């Protein structure tokens, strides 16, 4: 077995044929022993020059399996930095733990997992910064890391083989964001030289260690840090453009062409999902990212009864029902029984997706 195939199996990207939990010393059906694993996987963080930080909260669990699969295929050191979802006033409930926490497959796909302390107020600002700070502490343990890419748990790479192209594209610059208007660097997809990343996160730490209600957003702190530290910023030459007014679409809501899409196949899955739902557009293209773990426990109740059923069955009646309930206004949302869209299924495909862990 090649080392790459062994690493793919270790990451859960390829299936194991037998249980290695019993201390096997012979080469079983998978062609590898515990000795092979020991020699090939224990120093994975030391084998790459790039770390990928995936910041996530429980609302992104519905996409996280496919997102992590893409990043793990890069060969980078992947850190899942997870926002603590529990508050002391919420009663202990096993179902809530399953709904709000990653499952076993997420932990296997990530090389490392960190969870920040519980924070209050301004979840994006506080949650995002402390997720990054905790992940930085792990990265500092590995001097071989030269580049850091950070992204969100609903942002995927369709071309993970493009990682080397991305780091090479950065050249001698300190930082490049996938979406930027020349002033604001959007935090969804940013590649850094590690030294610059450390300087910026340390700069932000000096701000965030003093609690201020209503303090700056991550993008504002990032902008100020880059200016004050005089970092060399590379503006991505191809920005995703809003099809209506031509402005920079910071969320890449339509899967537009961009430098990051060209290099690594970047796409903001939730932004595309939300936009297509609001505008009544086709959603079959997101089926490969759909995770129906525990009968779609990561999805909202209305989603389970509409779009999840569409991706599971291919019955367009559920898509029509989803569109009516997903209009971009509260007053225009319509709720009809499925029979209102036809007595018989209207099929795009028929398949069984009940294969996720």
- State the Cα–Cα distance between residues 318 and 346, nearest whole angstrom: 9
The answer to whether residue 356 scores a pLDDT higher than 50 is no
- State the Cα–Cα distance between residues 69 and 148, nearest whole angstrom: 18
Give residue 189's pLDDT: 96
Long-range contacts of 318-327 (CB under 8 A, 24+ apart): 319/283, 322/277, 322/283, 323/277, 323/280, 326/277, 326/278, 327/278, 327/280
- Residues contacting residue 284 through CB under 8 Å, at least 6 positions apart: 348
Contact 189, 266 (CB under 8 A): yes
Give residue 123's pLDDT: 67
The answer to whether residue 17 scores a pLDDT higher than 90 is no
Q: Tell me the pLDDT tens digit for each residue of 72-104.
A: 999 999 999 999 999 899 888 888 899 999 999
**What is the phi/psi pair of residue 216, to 5°?**
-70, 155
Going by DSSP bridges, is the β-strand pair 50-56/77-82 parallel, antiparallel, or unpaired? parallel
The answer to whether residue 353 scores a pLDDT higher than 50 is no
**Strand ranges for 257-325 from DSSP E:** 266-268
Of 192, 267, 179, 262, give the one whose Cα is nearest residue 225. 192
* pLDDT, averaged across the chain: 91
Of 260, 219, 223, give the one whose Cα is nearest residue 238. 260
Give residue 221's pLDDT: 86
- State the Cα–Cα distance between residues 236 and 74, nearest whole angstrom: 21
- Residues contacting residue 204 through CB under 8 Å, at least 6 positions apart: 129, 132, 133, 221, 222, 225
Give residue 354's pLDDT: 44
End-to-end CA distance of the chain: 25
Above pLDDT 90, what percent of the chain?
Answer: 75
Mean pLDDT computed over 112-121: 92
- State the Cα–Cα distance between residues 232 and 227, nearest whole angstrom: 9
- State the Cα–Cα distance between residues 325 and 306, nearest whole angstrom: 9
The answer to whether residue 280 scores a pLDDT higher than 90 is yes
Give residue 126's pLDDT: 85
Quick one: how far is CA 85 from the chain centroid? 17
Q: 268 vs 332, which has greater pLDDT?
A: 268
Residue 157: in which H helix or E strand, if any?
strand 155-157
- State the Cα–Cα distance between residues 319 and 277, nearest whole angstrom: 9
Give residue 28's pLDDT: 78
Q: What is the architecture, at CATH level 2, of domain 44-269? A: Alpha-Beta Complex (3.90)
Among 5-9, 211-215, 349-353, name the most confident range. 5-9
| Banded model confidence at residue 30, pLDDT cuts 50, 70, 90 | confident
Mean pLDDT computed over 48-59: 97
Mean pLDDT computed over 286-300: 95
Contact 140, 198 (CB under 8 A): yes
pTM of the model: 0.93
Strands across the sheet containing 175-177:
112-115, 77-82, 50-56, 147-152, 189-193, 175-177
Domain assignments of the chain as residue spans, ordered by start: 1-42, 44-269, 283-341
**Strand ranges for 19-154 from DSSP E:** 50-56, 77-82, 112-115, 147-152
Q: Tell me the pLDDT tens digit for each residue of 120-152.
A: 876 677 889 999 999 999 999 999 999 999 999
Q: Quote the radius of gyration of the chain (alpha carbons, Å).
A: 22
Above pLDDT 70, what percent of the chain?
Answer: 95
- State the Cα–Cα distance between residues 70 and 189, nearest whole angstrom: 14
**Strand ranges for 161-233 from DSSP E:** 175-177, 189-193
**Strand ranges for 4-143 from DSSP E:** 50-56, 77-82, 112-115
């Amino acid at each position: 077995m090649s080392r790459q195939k062994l690493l793919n199996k270790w990451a859960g990207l390829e299936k194991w044929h037998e249980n290695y939990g019993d201390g096997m010393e012979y080469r079983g059906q998978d062609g590898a022993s515990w000795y092979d694993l020991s020699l090939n996987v224990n120093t994975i963080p030391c084998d790459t020059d790039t770390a990928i930080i995936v910041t996530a909260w429980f609302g992104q669990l519905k996409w996280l399996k496919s997102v992590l699969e893409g990043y793990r295929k890069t060969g980078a050191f992947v850190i899942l930095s997870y926002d603590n979802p529990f508050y002391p006033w919420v009663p202990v409930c096993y179902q809530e733990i399953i709904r709000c926490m990653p499952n076993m497959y997420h932990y296997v796909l990530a090389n490392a997992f960190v969870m920040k302390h519980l924070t209050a107020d301004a979840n994006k600002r506080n949650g995002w910064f402390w997720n990054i700070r905790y992940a930085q502490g792990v990265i500092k343990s590995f001097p071989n890391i030269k580049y850091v890419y950070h992204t969100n748990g609903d942002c995927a790479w369709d071309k993970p083989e493009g990682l080397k192209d991305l780091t090479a594209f950065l050249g001698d610059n300190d930082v490049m964001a996938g979406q930027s208007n020349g002033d604001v660097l959007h935090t969804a997809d940013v590649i850094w030289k590690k030294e610059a990343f450390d300087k910026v996160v340390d700069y932000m730490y000096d701000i965030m260690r003093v609690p201020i209600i209503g303090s700056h957003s991550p993008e504002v702190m990032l902008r100020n840090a880059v200016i004050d530290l005089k970092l060399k910023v590379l503006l991505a030459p191809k920005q995703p453009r809003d099809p209506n007014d031509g402005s920079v679409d910071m969320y890449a809501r339509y899967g537009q062409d961009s430098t990051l899409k060209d290099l690594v196949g970047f796409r903001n899955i939730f932004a595309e999902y939300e936009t297509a739902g609001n505008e009544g557009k086709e959603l079959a293209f997101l089926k490969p990212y759909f995770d129906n773990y525990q009968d779609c426990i990561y999805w909202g109740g209305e989603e389970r009864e509409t779009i999840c059923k569409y991706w599971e069955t291919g019955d367009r009646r559920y898509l029509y029902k989803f569109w009516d309930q997903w209009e971009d206004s509260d007053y225009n949302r319509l709720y009809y029984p499925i029979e209102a869209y036809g007595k018989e299924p209207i099929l795009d495909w028929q398949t069984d997706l009940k294969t996720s862990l």
